[in-house]
Amino acid sequence: MTHQRALTATALILIPLAWAGCSEHGPPLGSVSGTVTWNGEPVPFAYVVFQPVEPKGAYGAAYSDADGRYELLYSRDRRGALVGKHAVTVRTSSVDEIQVEDKKTGLMVTPPLPKGYRPKMEKQFERQVAAGDNAIDLEIKR
């Protein structure tokens, strides 16, 4: 095989693979959103991770907002998590590790202690993600 033919054959194999890797097509995802609560109160700024158990794959993650709501992001341009069973981890930070933007000044500041302040913690859950929309609330109890 000549050098030119080898390059052409390689290009014919690699270009479709590159296109497939760059497309929005990928593994099936379900959109996942919900609220993180601790004894019925919203947990702001919690880090939520859905790590697939079956099938194995990349995780979906999000931070909860000031009202404890979250929506998972699988990749930069895809929301959700892989369809299947997940080990779910919720982590909170101590308040001094959190920085939020002050709406008046635009500066990053440490928020005041929230009502019912919770110390730094980590909680594990197991949840199923189905195709379509999934409302998955995560309740942490004392």
- What span, in angstroms and rounded, lies between the C-alpha atoms of 94 and 17? 44
- Give bridge partners of residue 109 from the DSSP assignment: 100
Is it the case that residue 66 has pLDDT exceeding 70? yes
Q: What is the pLDDT of residues 85-102, one digit of tens each?
A: 999 999 886 555 556 667
Q: What is the pLDDT of residues 67-126, one digit of tens each?
A: 999 999 999 899 999 999 999 999 886 555 556 667 778 777 665 555 555 556 778 889
Q: What is the pLDDT of residues 4-56, one digit of tens each?
A: 554 444 444 545 444 444 445 789 999 999 999 988 889 888 899 999 998 78
DSSP state of 27: S
- Among the listed residues 127, 113, 135, 125, the one whose alpha carbon sits nearest the alpha carbon of residue 45: 113
Domain 27-140 falls in which CATH fold?
Answer: Immunoglobulin-like (2.60.40)
Boundaries of every domain in the chain: 27-140
